């Protein structure tokens, strides 16, 4: 017989923790990806090598890293680089990226969409349009499904 009780604390016990067959997310080994230094990116931007700066950042995105500081820093840098492009250069820049970089760039764009600043929002919309034209809905699906966020 169950007793009527006013306590509800037992309802908050996560019983799945006690199931030894419980699904556990795969532990992904964090690759040692060094986020490119700010000075390096600055140097490339100053010498008008915007595309190189973008490629460098996307190739070395800390997607497996657990260090939120690294991720934030990389994100700030990517957005900074994106805002440096003129609207007319965006299409060519996107076309120079490989398919992996396209997917990662889409992740950065969606991360910015989640908390846009006044300046970046319109820039990101321009980029989104061009990246979508290359990557299609498939790349948006991969932003949604991938556990390895940026």
Contacts with other proteins by CB under 8 A lie at 21-24, 26, 99, 103, 135-139, 141-142, 145-148
CB of 149 vs other proteins, minimal distance in Å:
12
Size of the chain in residues? 150
Distance CA 101, CA 31 (A): 17
Q: How far is the CB of 110 from other proteins (least distance, A)?
A: 15
For other proteins, which is the closer residue by CB, 63 or 93?
63
Q: Which is nearer to other proteins, 22 or 46 (CB)?
A: 22
How big, in percent rounded to 5, are the helix, strand and coil portions of the chain? Answer: 65, 0, 35
In the complex, least distance from residue 107 CB atom to other proteins, rounded to whole angstroms: 12
Tell me how far, at minimum, the Cβ of 131 lies from other proteins, in Å: 11
Can you tell me the distance from the alpha carbon of 58 to that of 52, in angstroms, rounded to the nearest whole number? 10
Cα 87 to Cα 63: distance, rounded to the nearest angstrom: 27
Nearest to 74 by CA among 29, 120, 114, 105: 105
Q: Which residue's CB is nearer to other proteins, number 96 or number 99? A: 99
Which CB sits closer to other proteins, 38 or 146? 146
């Amino acid at each position: 017989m169950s007793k009527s009780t006013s306590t509800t604390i037992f309802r908050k016990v996560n019983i799945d923790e006690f199931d030894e067959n419980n699904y556990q997310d795969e532990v992904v080994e964090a690759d040692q990806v060094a986020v490119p230094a700010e000075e390096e990116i600055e140097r490339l931007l100053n010498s008008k090598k915007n595309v190189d700066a973008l490629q460098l950042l996307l190739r070395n995105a800390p997607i497996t890293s657990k260090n939120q500081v690294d991720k934030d820093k990389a994100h700030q840098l990517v957005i900074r680089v994106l805002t440096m492009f003129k609207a007319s250069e965006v299409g060519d820049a996107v076309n120079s990226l490989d398919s992996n970089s396209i997917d990662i760039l889409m992740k950065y764009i969606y991360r910015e969409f989640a908390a846009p600043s006044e300046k970046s929002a319109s820039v990101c919309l321009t980029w989104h349009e061009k990246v979508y034209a290359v990557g299609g809905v498939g790349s948006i699906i991969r932003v949604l499904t991938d556990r390895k966020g940026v």
